Amino acid sequence: MKKIRRGFIHPSAAFTLNRRLIRFCAPLDKRPEIGDAVYGTIVRVGQHSSLENRFGRIHMIHDGTKAVFVFGNRYAPDFYEGVIPERMESEVDLLARSGVVGLVKTKNSRMKDPTRARIHGYVCDAKGRVVNTREHPLLLPRGRTRREPRARMILVCGTAMNSGKSLAASACCWALTTARQRVRASKITGTASLQDILHMNDAGASPYADFTYLGYPSTYLLPQEEVLGIFDKLDLKYANNPKNFWVVELADGINQRETAMLLASPTVRGRIHRLVFCANDAFGAIGGLRMLKEKFGLAPDALSGVCSSSPLHARELRDFTAIPIFNSAQADLRQLAEILLAPGECPPANNETNDNYD
């Protein structure tokens, strides 16, 4: 084993790992598993030219940049589909700027070839054990009692990645906060990226967490019981108080594997207080509405996303449905609060806020 010296980037995919765990590097003959941490050097800068560290800071990277990386799978139609290799490779692809690595299986033709990293070995602790993020969760909800009734869940989903879900979720957090409501926020599925949940925190949600807090660098290709387990653990941790709101974002589109698993779950559907559906364009929203109804028996309470920024897309949607549309890029907070809250909970007309809420 070789000692890992200072000067490496500690990425957000390894968010749960204490610096004291990152002690040594060993080239072990071991099949990579999701969550295994490895130490490596950037040897080619491709699509991703930066790394997000565990505090959310974005580092520019160069040939020779040293970092800890974490094995994981990624589903990203606008970027890559990447998977964990079946055996340790001398070089791997950077699947996300959070430090998730694997091998690219398919690539969006608009993207550059992936950034490559040479792997020196597994990250090992002081006792020589391979460090895995799943063995070091920050949240340990075991032993907590599930209370009924529960916090009201605002669920945000959409047609695909980059359809505007994160912006809509942040708008929901801000609208509820300005209406003097207490808001918690979570992202259940996707690939490690602190930016999404930090934006919800900026919009007033606190506390906040995603699957990385439970030690998962990504959720693509997880068994169904683990996907539902992530939801249950975050629900138990953040939604025990019926006076609160819990804003939840699901990554990618409603046809994507893990998102579909969650929407098909009676437990998840039964937790929905309000459903916000996002789309890139009007036609996508129309198709999504039909899919939600036919496949999952769901009807959104509001439509948003990229299409909501276009008056023409909104006009096409209004010809098809009476479901309210809110522009998450320039949110009308009172309109959104009226959608999310019961009539008696709506804020006063002047939208004055109380800075002393708990």
The pLDDT tens digits of the residues spanning 248-303 come to: 999 999 999 999 999 999 999 999 999 999 999 999 999 999 999 999 999 999 99
User: What strand order describes the sheet that includes 208-210?
Assistant: 208-210, 182-187, 244-253, 152-158, 272-278, 302-304
Q: Under the phi-then-psi rule, with left for phi > 0, alpha for psi from -120 to 50, and beta for the rest, what region is 81?
A: beta
13-49 tens-digit pLDDT: 999 999 999 999 999 999 999 999 999 999 999 999 9
Domain at 152-345: CATH architecture: 3-Layer(aba) Sandwich (3.40)
pLDDT of res. 140: 82
Backbone angles phi, psi at 319, to 5 degrees: -75, -20
Q: Is the pLDDT of residue 143 over 80?
A: no
Per the CB < 8 A criterion, the answer to whether 133 and 215 are in contact is: yes
Instruction: Spell out the residues 6+ positions from residue 204 whose beta carbon is closer than 8 angstroms to its own.
Output: 173, 174, 176, 177, 178, 183
pLDDT of residue 355: 34
Please give the Cα distance from 155 to 185 (Å, whole number). Answer: 10
The answer to whether the CB of 246 falls within 8 A of the CB of 269 is: no
**120: phi then psi, degrees, rounded to nearest 5:** -90, -20
Give per-residue pLDDT as tens, 52-111: 999 999 999 999 999 999 999 999 999 999 999 999 999 999 999 999 999 999 999 999
Q: What pTM does this model have?
A: 0.94
What confidence category does residue 320 fall into, taking pLDDT thresholds of 50, 70 and 90?
A: very high
Q: Which pLDDT does position 354 carry in this prediction?
A: 37
Which residues share a beta bridge with 274? 154
Is the predicted pLDDT of residue 347 greater than 90, yes or no?
Answer: no
Q: Where exactly are the structural domains of the chain?
A: 2-134, 152-345
Instruction: Kindly report the backbone phi and psi dihedral angles of residue 294, in degrees, each rounded to the nearest multiple of 5, phi listed first.
Output: -75, -40
Q: Is residue 218's pLDDT more than 80?
A: yes
